[in-house]
Structure 1
């Protein structure tokens, strides 16, 4: 059994770089072999460091997947923050931002990892909880946008807001499955229908 290293690095920048190195390697391994097929030995080989060194940053493989979820959530929140910080018309900003959402969900490598995480969530309660928690935070940030002064639907009922948010997330999130089943799917084709649909969901219903 590999002895765990308990010494912690004191250089925050170095620690962050090493953690990111492990996360990138683990994501690649999960995409290639799945969560259960990718052991710590494979992750350490891909990362170019010993398994013992990896334990200096992560206590377990589950801790690695938790960090991957956290990293994805931080990336998503940075987009929400850009929407909030931009002083322009919120509807236009969010319609333009659809490009990023589409690109992220039709990226082949991100797709493979996301689908593997969802598959693991179906059989691992802790992973399911972490992903549900991430989704809860994302929906809360979207709600904050849609109830702000610049939103056209700020006066909608809670039930209506929940419906709008869940349909928007379903449309964007479902692109991972569509791209997997239909590899020829292109961003321009998606946006042709997605932008009008988003405009409807971000505007008052008649």
Structure 2
């Protein structure tokens, strides 16, 4: 019994230190970029030796893989919750729009933006990023297919293409949040639920239509373009 308790304690301590490294690395990558952040910088912020970090991760690329996997696991848990509701279509619109436009997370996209940039140059980063992307696409596809069976997503279109388009939309807004001030994201806030509802073939959500009518978002855009 005592041996099991000791083993469980060591496992928890090891996982805690592993998360400590990931948190420190994420902060360093946001601040210095993937190429600029050194293992010594990460170890200093994590409060442990570089050798200790190598006990958990063999390279910076392995750290990136773990960061992406952790974020994907959190996202997949949130998507799983959508499958339990009675109106999957509307819940998908609400959850994704909320996640895309959350101003409390306005600094968070800087990290995935840096990781995607590193993936474009480094195959050792690209491979795990693509693997995680496939996982999240598969989970979204499960939700969309369940919505089609449920009848709350009426549009008959290639499911894979729809899920990829939703991910592209999410990524694009993440870039917007990482680069531009929050008010630039707020400009699209009234229109995003309408766009997503249109993609899924859902009725236009009345609150979003009322917001657009009240703010004159569409009229203002049309005037600017004329």
User: For this structure pair, what is the TM-score category when the shorter chain's length is used for normalisation?
Assistant: 0.7 to 0.9
* Total equivalences in the alignment: 195
User: Higher helix fraction: Structure 1 or Structure 2?
Assistant: 2
Contact 1:179 1:185 (C-alpha < 8 Å) held by counterparts: no
Q: Distance in 1 between matches of 2:88 and 2:196?
A: 12
**Which residue in 2 is equivalent to 1:190?**
188
1:150-204 deviation digits (Å, cap 9, x = unpaired): 25447735xx223322221111110122224431336654331111111111227
Q: Unmatched 5+ residue regions in structure 1?
A: 1-7
Counterparts of 2:125 and 2:86 in 1: how far apart (Å)?
38
Change in Cα spacing, 1:116 to 1:102, as seen in structure 2 (3 Å) is same
Cα 1:105/1:52, change in 2 over 3 Å:
farther
What does 1:1-206 align with in structure 2 at a 5 Å threshold?
A: 11-84=10-83, 86-103=84-101, 107-148=105-146, 149-153=149-153, 156-157=156-157, 160-185=158-183, 189-203=187-201
Distance of 1:133 and 1:179 partners within structure 2: 24
Higher Rg = 2
Considering only aligned residues, what root-mean-square deviation do their CA atoms show, in Å? 2.6
Is there any run of 5+ residues in structure 2 with no aligned partner, and where? 1-6, 204-226
**TM-score of the two chains, using structure 1 as the length reference:** 0.83
CA offset digits 1:22-79 (Å, max 9, x no partner): 0000011111111111111110000011112112211221111110111111011011
* 1:191 partner SS: coil
